[in-house]
Chains A and B, each alone.
Chain A
Amino acid sequence: MTFHPFVLPFIAGLSFIIIYFFYKTYHWISGLSDSDKKKLRNSIFTQKTYYAAKEVFLESLLHRKIFRINPLLGYMHASLAFGWFLLIVIGNLESRLYHPSDFNPPYYPIFLGFFDTDSHHTYWYAPIFKFIMNLLLIIVLSGVLLALLKRLYAGLFKMKKTTHLKMADKIPLYSLWLIFPARLMAESVAAAIYQNGGFLTTSIGKLLSTSLATESFMLTFYWLYSIALGIFFCSLPWSRYMHIPSEVVLIFFRNYGIHNTENNKELQEVELLSCSRCGICIDTCQIMTSAKVNSIQAVYFLKSLREKDYDRNKAFNCLMCGRCEKICPVGISINMHRQQSRNHISNDKGFLETAWHLTQKKKAKIAYFSGCMTRLTPSVIVAMKKIFSAANENWIFLDENNGICCGRPTKLAGLTKKASELAEANKSMIHESGADLLISSCPICVKTFTEDYHLNIPVFHHSVYLNNLIKAKKINVQKIPIQAIYHDPCELGRGLHIYDEPRQLLSSLLNLKTIHYSAENALCCGNSVAGFHLSSQEKDMITKDALIKMNTKDCDIIATACPMCKKSFVKFEQTKVKDLAEILEMAITK
């Protein structure tokens, strides 16, 4: 017998999802910009494809990244994904070996226990297959069990919070949970009837009294199994599980160098669909861990975005510190999405009547732009002045008297027109200065100078510049015998990937201790200019927590490179908080 009606739900579901997926993929590819299409064409027959396939194997099946962050969670994902994958592959192999000759429909291996009743008599290696398949089934079931437990007690996974669900998620979720227990029961009953089971199915089959081991009883379970599969496949496109196929596409795109940009709607959709809602971003978000707000994290934000709901709070109540983006196992460009939805919600006409009075008459080699925030930490400016003169540089102070904002905050508020107007005003001022190097003490400014200004001169954050000074011996320093820890500002670290220069600089000035929360894993001080909705109390909670986590007790100085971070930390910290410039100033020898 090679057919029975109970396979129909499965067949329906499977064919639906395959058609849907191919349609989607076609839609995405055709929607790509010509340059991206070109990339695709050029790289499809290169080793990039191999790397992509490898990544798919490692991430989509083995979930290596999740393993690294949370082994138990990783096992859960892997057991389900990879376990199921093997079940299919080996199942196919098995059925092919049993019936090399005749037609082998796709459902055949899935319900092999039902259709193949006697192979184990004929083939010597059948028991081995039965053993492997049963083993795999156990693994997958363990995954299902874990998933179940995770729902009930997230704590088990050392997770503070896990995502809460809507109906659209529950249907596929429950059907997914049902699939394998159903399969187990079906095959166990089958094993009891045909003696074609493995160690697991047979033993469970034995447990079922003969009265239960009936044809009809077996069929019920096969129906259940098949229906569960059908429902799961059909509900896929509207559920989080769409991430399974989407992530594969995303990985390929990424490897082909196709990235999320303002106008790349297709890729944005792929990214949104690729979010598996693993919830890892929740625990890494300080707004959750410190300020106890559990509604705006990437997973929720992306979800509402996928539902075309531009929620103001989700878009604006975020520090854009980039921690979630760095840790996201799927590698979704979350900040980009936030920025885009902020732009979408905001709609500004620019500065209607403001006229900036910026006239930069003096000329110099180096143009120094302190930035608004640095004005509130004058010690940094004083230090920079001393250093400039010590290194006898030819420099000018661009925004000493009536400077204006660099435009990053307005950009982060989605006021792109305002931002560009400010940029233009500043650019002409920078241009007039005739400088061939622009230095700022504020990572926020440096970020926008480098990314949005498109200047024809190099832009340095002062940490980089100061480090170069030391390297070039343009300034004499003597190591200070004190312990310090370094706090990476979000915009400088994750924002501009400047991790090494500050460290090099510091280690040449004092003894730098390394801390756990540093570099890509550094914390936000809580006062990021991207955060618009947090109350001052919530910000304070974040700052305090950050200081505790950084364990600032046994060090003499907390070094940082952002006026905002400094301002935030000094509010609560007994240990001295100093900017790199101030520390260098201390170390200067006459």
Chain B
Amino acid sequence: MSFGFNILKDRQIDFDTNDLSLARFLSLYEPSFRLCISCGGCTATCIANHHSGLSLRKIFILINRGITADIKHELDNCMLCGKCVIACPRGVNTRGLILKISELTKNSEI
């Protein structure tokens, strides 16, 4: 029977049930992944951001929260130009991570 409304899905991040495997893998594969402090330097300098709104900061933090569904095709916009590598104040190997994440999330099976 219809009540004219439905039970809403919770927006809350449930850290205990979210799948953190990707985050765990990356921090072992490329420990500099752990160093991201979400300063947004990468996103600010990103040339793809101007065209597609690609935000590496967002992608990293979502991976860290186990919300990988949201980033499925985002990284596909990256041109690997490497400006983010130069911009990152904490020496995160952003390009290496982008390639690996893309490979794992099967954007472009690198």
Give the shortest distance, in Å, between A124 (CB) and chain B (any CB): 74
Taking the complex as formed, is B50 at the interface, i.e. its CB lies under 8 A from any CB of chain A? yes
User: In the complex the two chains form, is B109's CB within 8 Å of A354's CB?
Assistant: no
- B52-109 contacts to A, CB under 8 A, are 52, 73, 76-77, 79-83, 85-88, 91-93, 95-96, 99, 107-109
* Chain B interface residue bracket vs A: 20 to 34
Taking the complex as formed, is B48 at the interface, i.e. its CB lies under 8 A from any CB of chain A? yes
Give the shortest distance, in Å, between A156 (CB) and chain B (any CB): 37
Taking the complex as formed, is B8 at the interface, i.e. its CB lies under 8 A from any CB of chain A? no
With A372-B83, A376-B86, A409-B81: A356-B73 Cβ-Cβ less than 8 Å: no
User: In the complex the two chains form, is A376's CB within 8 Å of B83's CB?
Assistant: yes
Chain B, residue nearest A376 (CB): B86
User: In the complex the two chains form, is A354's CB within 8 Å of B51's CB?
Assistant: yes
Tell me, in angstroms, the Cα distance from A247 to B101 when the chains sit together.
41
User: In the complex the two chains form, is B93's CB within 8 Å of A349's CB?
Assistant: no
User: In the complex the two chains form, is B73's CB within 8 Å of A405's CB?
Assistant: no
Which of A356, A405, A532 gathers the greatest number of chain B CB atoms within 10 Å?
Answer: A532
Partner of A346, one of B73, B82, B93, B110: B110
Tell me, in angstroms, the Cα distance from A142 to B42 when the chains sit together.
59
Residues of B within 8 A of A410 (CB): 79-80
Tell me, in angstroms, the Cα distance from A409 to B47 when the chains sit together.
13
Residues of B within 8 A of A405 (CB): 47, 79-81
Taking the complex as formed, is A245 at the interface, i.e. its CB lies under 8 A from any CB of chain B? no
Residues of A within 8 A of B91 (CB): 535-537
Give the shortest distance, in Å, between B41 (CB) and chain A (any CB): 11
Binds B, one of A74-82, A108-116, A413-421: A413-421
Residues of A within 8 A of B86 (CB): 373, 376, 527, 564, 567
User: In the complex the two chains form, is A347's CB within 8 Å of B108's CB?
Assistant: yes
User: In the complex the two chains form, is B99's CB within 8 Å of A413's CB?
Assistant: yes
With A349-B108, A356-B51: A409-B73 Cβ-Cβ less than 8 Å: no
Tell me, in angstroms, the Cα distance from A533 to B88 when the chains sit together.
16
Tell me, in angstroms, the Cα distance from A358 to B91 when the chains sit together.
31
Tell me, in angstroms, the Cα distance from A357 to B77 when the chains sit together.
13
User: In the complex the two chains form, is A413's CB within 8 Å of B80's CB?
Assistant: yes
Chain B, residue nearest A410 (CB): B80
Taking the complex as formed, is A316 at the interface, i.e. its CB lies under 8 A from any CB of chain B? yes
User: In the complex the two chains form, is B51's CB within 8 Å of A532's CB?
Assistant: no
Taking the complex as formed, is A588 at the interface, i.e. its CB lies under 8 A from any CB of chain B? no
Taking the complex as formed, is A167 at the interface, i.e. its CB lies under 8 A from any CB of chain B? no
Taking the complex as formed, is A9 at the interface, i.e. its CB lies under 8 A from any CB of chain B? no
Give 15 new A-B contacts, CB below 8 A, not counting A351-B76, A409-B80: A316-B99, A347-B110, A348-B109, A349-B108, A351-B77, A353-B52, A354-B51, A372-B81, A375-B45, A405-B80, A415-B80, A415-B108, A527-B85, A532-B96, A567-B86
Residues of A within 8 A of B (CB): 316, 345-357, 372-373, 375-376, 402-405, 407, 409-410, 412-415, 418, 422, 527, 529, 532-537, 564, 567
25 contacts between A and B (CB under 8 A): A316-B99, A345-B110, A346-B108, A346-B109, A347-B109, A347-B110, A348-B110, A353-B77, A354-B77, A372-B83, A373-B81, A376-B87, A405-B81, A409-B79, A409-B80, A413-B80, A415-B108, A418-B79, A527-B82, A532-B99, A535-B32, A535-B91, A535-B93, A536-B85, A564-B86
